[in-house]
Amino acid sequence: MSESLGSGRPPAPEQKPTTALRRRLAELRGPATPARPLDARALAALAANPGCRRRALLDGAGVDKGALAEAIGSPSAAFGQSQFAFMRGNAFEAKVKGDGGTELLRLLHERMGEGAEPPGQALTPDLAAAGPEGRAARTALALREATEAGGWALLDHPMLALEVAGSPAYLEPDAVVVHPDGRWTVVEIKSFPMIDAAADPSKVGAAARQSAVYVLALERVAVLTKGASVDHSVLLVCPRDFSNLPTASVVDVRKQLAVTRRQLTRLSRIEDIADELPPGTTFDLDGQSGASLATAVEAVPAVYAPECLAACELAFHCRGRAREQGTVTALGRSLRGELGSLTTVEEVLAAARGESGDPADPTVAAVRRAAALRAEAGAPCH
């Protein structure tokens, strides 16, 4: 076992972000501006669109994209919960974790079939420490100690570290349960209901993608912990029907985990993106005009897709630019994939009219055939 095991830091020293990179990212967001944390929800959205260098850089630098969108004169997409929903979610989470996690462990036993008898009280280690790095180190140590002890343990809001494109991200799942056999299970507690044992598929999918990020971060600690393994099924706890009583389901996140791992690997390293920026580029909101900030934003290439509207504060700005440029990606990734080498709306229309494009190209042939069918359907009847 190495010192990294208790520190929660990358096992290879060369993987740590350099001081120069930290300084460069601070200059980009503004030296006096604290970095916004990169959470699991943002990471899942980033992994869903790894080709967007703009989001990778801004998230890596900790830039407040909502404030930036307002400063450049673009409406910002609304994110987050209402105060009422936030309070309701906190109350439900406290109910699930109450009495030392007895109800949570009962649900885990019920859904995952852990032995003949449900577990009783579990060890609940104190994870308090100074700063996210300290909390991540304390979490890694608690996971190691609980695994070595060979009993049940419930880690409430642990802190996990994950390197993303050369920059650290600190993640906080609702809970992690350590089993007597050394398995670690992520627990996600959501306030949307399960009605007749089924929840909204889109919300479950979002929770699965978010949980996959936690599993990926946990694997980073488990590989340094003797006897530990990370369960690829997470426990999703929600209110039952229209009550405040908790129920749970097991969600297999292997598919989401594979996609997230692959997409995060594809992300360009943040320092490489920063090195390509014009000298003096900064996203510091203090003392800069909206025009200069807009110029800085446009200096970083973006890849817009309609899905961005549900995940990025700059989505409306990027959508406007994509429409101005006539990119087919603005119409959806599936359509973009169907159109192959035809990357703009103008190219598609020109190919449909027979003004450009190779007739032997299957995409061009399909577009012309579709145009002919449309013209035939719109022709007057005789």
Q: How much of the chain exceeds pLDDT 90, in percent?
A: 45
* Torsion angles phi and psi, residue 12, rounded to 5: -100, 120
Kindly report, residue by residue over 265-318, the tens digit of the pLDDT.
877 788 889 999 999 899 999 878 999 999 999 999 998 888 888 888 999 999
pLDDT (mean) for 94-99: 90
- CA R_g for the chain: 24
Distances (CA, A) of 192 to 83, 198, 201, 314: 15, 11, 11, 27
Cβ distance 274 to 29 under 8 Å? no
pTM to 2 decimal places: 0.75
Find, among 163, 124, 160, the residue nearest to 139 by Cα: 160
Cβ distance 271 to 166 under 8 Å? yes
Determine how many CB atoms are found less than 10 A away from the CB of residue 168: 20
pLDDT (mean) for 68-76: 86
- Bridge partner list, 260: none
Per the prediction, the chain carries an average pLDDT of 85
Kindly report, residue by residue over 202-256, the tens digit of the pLDDT.
899 989 999 999 999 999 999 999 999 999 999 999 999 888 899 999 999 999 9
* Torsion angles phi and psi, residue 271, rounded to 5: -65, -30
Distances (CA, A) of 45 to 259, 265, 305, 346, 358: 12, 14, 12, 29, 37
